Structure 1
């Protein structure tokens, strides 16, 4: 790793620690080296070993708890209730009806959230199963490498940040307000069992962990951290942990697993899922294209349908004689590759590529945007560090303000957006953001001025002109947004008066 690392580590000990983590836990090199440095520093400080890399590596080799603590720092436990609602819709409309057909109405559904963090995912699964009538016929498990996260999951106390998803309202009937937080009702909390598990270890599947014979596995945004060898081993164990007819759902940025284990790949509108077929069952899940596991011999025909209907060319097996496999075009590297990864939603790849270009402010902005989709706090830290390296980069100040606003840190957000406006007084989106910040701080007059300025700046441009840093939003539309915000604010003031 040390010879390939593009970042200038401030001490060689960091690289040696990460090499040890790669060997013991199968983790990839970090996509954001500054965040990795901070994480290692925090983990070392908790053990009283700050800057003593030799002693820390020895501790990691002999103390599993110390290694687990570091893994938590190097991975992101980002989650919220009903994250990626299309996955839960798929379970409702495809997985559960198929299980009823295979197992019968009295079957107890066994589900596992692998890498459950603070518990929002397995609790969402429990609520879904309750909605579908499985209240007394479910076994839901959540596992994670972070014992601190598992403790929080068991307490089941959450803030508004856990309810930010579009479908999170489904949890509201089961959440009881306690001050600024919500406590999950026992009828949901008691249906989920939590336990420690490191996916990179070969201790599972096992009845001792309850990880075996599963109907449904959610393993989302976990495999992205592993190197190829670890992914292959974990994929085989995930397949072995499924019961026949069971389904595995991974995250949108996770690597494909079809080449590592004999899964049947299910292609949906939102991506792919993995199925462990039941021998002799040729009924396919409704409305899905299936790509079965490889046939025993290259010449054996693949039965993709129970009837001999014609197949679309895209799903036919390739002809047996393939003398030459053309090379796929190389993925672009550098800033262009990072932008393409960002555009397709591959946040970790975007952060990895952009994070290597520390001297380019545009690359730093791409890295921050990617991290914002993974861990807002890490994105804030990365943005602040990048802004120190590039003090005249207005986009970094604007992104910092946006992230801080999302975290509810209004005063810090206001300071960052004013810094952006100092660098670029005509930045319309910054004036619009300032209006939102000031309104939330009860500065009605300041908010009105900010909205009016944003409206005026956009009105000077042709309506179809893209506005700088507005993610493709046009001037006419943004002017209307600012006008509506100002009008609503003034109407509210008149009503109060």
Structure 2
């Protein structure tokens, strides 16, 4: 039975931040808050609740610690190849063309986490402007906000571990980052382009001329709405729409917002991805653009729709292969329930295959159900002790949890398998990555554990 204080705390979090705590996460979260309260804050849970009621989310230590516990603080550079390709090939060139007279571009990375997204945008713009606006001086403003003060501190420091570069061309890392100790620091000229600030998407008043939150040409708010109730999503999306200039774009995570009919936003499909545009305007037809090198290499994607070659060959029936393919495609589009249904059907057809379990684990991880993801990955490894992606994903999870002992065990198992593969072997479920490339990446982490 849950404590009364916990239910009151969850209701307060919902009222002040919009964050919904799912029933299945409550038992573990209750224990984590008890530890936080007693060991880190020196308070009883009841005293913690009282302090939360009496303080502001932005300035108090109790809210800072609680929100660090409740929100996801992990990201990486150029996360989501499809959306960054859409930005470089269509949206940013269109916006630059529309703003050629004022030469002023304003961008907001809402819920920016540890800053990789905002810095990725700054890098991309630094590559695009010499191509699209050669010889011109532009005023570029990139605002990045998050409710988690701890990740904002990391973002302002601008120092990242090798894992944050798992989708980055090494040439980009060499060009825009400098080695510093065990990490890599973003170059000062890129860092100066991004302004980080605290932001509560539910409580804050925006648009506001008294703050930086107004008149944006592009707002990116990804993988945030999945934590909110429908009415909260509509309220926040309407406020974001009011912050957009004419012709401005709002980009959400795959499948977020849906067809909710947010006033002032037009739903558009570009390269089979859904985005939202301010007003009913006709986009400018742009000439071909050379793609920046930042999006050129994908090292370890989450869920990709193309590969079918396996490290340990399994010969599934065509129907099984089709179900698995559709599951990965649906997951990439954000249709997680449908993807999970396909996975379950695939499991019923081939109970010995780890593949559908792997996709289910990644869906759980994307939706914030990390403990469930670990259980599913262990099931996949039980089915196939040589299932390389399972070890790599568990290594990633344990690394994020700062469990170096278990991360090291998973890494050792992954290295043992990948070292026995021919270098050119495509790694199953990791599109565009072969065994040699994966080995190089994993060995970088071996020295840091």
TM-score normalised per structure 1? 0.61
**Displacement of 1:272:** 0.9
**Displacement of 1:137:** 2.3
* Cα distance change on mapping 1:267 and 1:348 into 2, 3 Å: closer
Aligned residue among 9, 17, 22 for 1:25: 17
1:372 corresponds to 2:365: yes
SS at match of 2:249: strand
Residue of structure 2 in register with 1:115 after alignment: 111
**Displacement of 1:58:** 1.4
Residue of structure 1 in register with 2:283 after alignment: 284
Q: CA–CA distance in 2 between the matches of 1:415 and 1:43?
A: 28
**Contiguous gaps of at least 5 residues in structure 1:** 1-8, 288-335, 354-361, 418-432, 441-446, 453-469, 474-480, 486-497
Q: CA–CA distance in 2 between the matches of 1:12 and 1:393?
A: 39
**Displacement of 1:342:** 9.9
Q: Deviations over 1:29-85 (max 9, x none)?
A: 327515534553454243223xx3322221221122333532332221331111113
Q: How many positions carry a matched residue from both structures?
A: 361
SS at match of 1:256: coil
**Displacement of 1:271:** 1.8
* Higher RCO structure, 1 or 2 (CA under 8 Å, sep 6+): 2
1:40 corresponds to 2:30: no
**Displacement of 1:372:** 3.4
* Cα distance change on mapping 1:386 and 1:143 into 2, 3 Å: same
Contact 1:383 1:400 in 2 (8 A): no
Q: Deviations over 1:135-162 (max 9, x none)?
A: 7420111111111111111110011111
* Cα distance change on mapping 1:192 and 1:413 into 2, 3 Å: closer
Contact 1:383 1:396 in 2 (8 A): no
Aligned residue among 45, 48, 51 for 1:53: 45
Q: CA–CA distance in 2 between the matches of 1:131 and 1:416?
A: 37
5 Å matches for 1:57-136? 57-64=49-56, 65=60, 66-133=62-129, 136=138
Q: CA–CA distance in 2 between the matches of 1:42 and 1:370?
A: 29
Residue of structure 2 in register with 1:405 after alignment: 395
**Displacement of 1:16:** 3.0
* Cα distance change on mapping 1:180 and 1:471 into 2, 3 Å: closer
Q: CA–CA distance in 2 between the matches of 1:221 and 1:234?
A: 14
5 Å matches for 1:116-265? 116-133=112-129, 136-166=138-168, 170-256=172-258, 258-265=260-267
* Cα distance change on mapping 1:103 and 1:413 into 2, 3 Å: closer
**Displacement of 1:22:** 1.8
Contact 1:214 1:241 in 2 (8 A): yes
Residue of structure 2 in register with 1:344 after alignment: 331
Q: CA–CA distance in 1 between the matches of 2:234 and 2:120?
A: 28
Q: Deviations over 1:78-111 (max 9, x none)?
A: 3111111332332233223333443325411111
* Cα distance change on mapping 1:35 and 1:184 into 2, 3 Å: farther
Contact 2:68 2:149 in 1 (8 A): no
Aligned residue among 377, 382, 385 for 1:394: 382
SS at match of 1:98: helix
Q: Deviations over 1:236-267 (max 9, x none)?
A: 10011001111111111423264232201111
* Cα distance change on mapping 1:220 and 1:244 into 2, 3 Å: same
Tell which structure's C-alpha radius of gyration is larger: 1
Q: Deviations over 1:199-254 (max 9, x none)?
A: 01142111222110101111111111111121111011001100111111111142
* Cα distance change on mapping 1:36 and 1:103 into 2, 3 Å: same
* Cα distance change on mapping 1:93 and 1:439 into 2, 3 Å: closer
Residue of structure 2 in register with 1:327 after alignment: none
SS at match of 2:254: coil
Contact 1:80 1:163 in 2 (8 A): yes
RMSD: 4.2
5 Å matches for 1:258-277? 258-277=260-279
**Contiguous gaps of at least 5 residues in structure 2:** 287-322, 342-353, 423-427, 438-449
**Displacement of 1:122:** 0.9
SS at match of 2:107: strand
